[in-house]
Amino acid sequence: MTVLPYLVAAWLFLIGCYGLATSRDLIHAVGCLAVCQSSTYVLLLAVGYRDGGTAPVFSDIAPGSRPVVDPVVQAMVLTDVVIGATVTALLLALVVQIAKRHGTVDPDELSELRG
């Protein structure tokens, strides 16, 4: 099955979207967004994999002696993980304020506007 890793990424994205759309709790929704985001990590790493490849770090292997996996996608995933963590923190900060101002974290109960 050469498409299985791509399908795993697609499944993670869809299940995250499902969780986001049906969420009754904003903290749960932020968690679902993190699941959606992790689907991109799986997809990128799957695209960069090479059979028999090792980490693209030449401190302990001689250049050219072994195939290495694609470092470009790894660099993208690396920065994405850190950004994902801080953006999650920002969203959770919003949830803290919503819980304080409205006394609920259920998105369905946040329909009214307040000045």
Partner 1 sequence: MSRGLRRWVLALGLLGTAVLLVLAARGLPAFGGSAHPYGERAVHAALDRHTANTVAAVTFDQRSFDTLGEESILFGAVLGTVVLLRQTRDENRLPPQPARVSPPVRRYALLALPVTLLVGLYIVAHGQLSPGGGFQGGIVVATALHLLYIAVDYRALERIRPIGLYEAADAAGEAAYVLLGAAGLLAGTAFLANVLPYGTLNTLASGGTVPLFNAAIGVEVACGVVVLLARFLDQAVEIVSTDADADADPDADADSDTDADARSHDAAGEEADT
Give the interface with partner 1 as residue ranges (CB under 8 A).
2-7, 10, 13-14, 17-18, 21-22, 24-25, 27, 46-51, 55-59, 63, 67-75, 78-83, 85-87, 89-90, 92-94, 96-97, 99-106, 108-109
Distance CA 57, CA 73 (A): 14
Residue whose token pair is 């250049």: 63
CB of 103 to partner 1, least distance (A): 4
CB of 113 to partner 1, least distance (A): 15
Q: Which is nearer to partner 1, 34 or 46 (CB)?
A: 46
Buried b (16+ CB within 10 A) or exposed e, 48-74: beeeeeeebeeeeeeeeeeebbbeebe
CB of 11 to partner 1, least distance (A): 9
DSSP 51: T
Structure tokens at 115: 């000045």
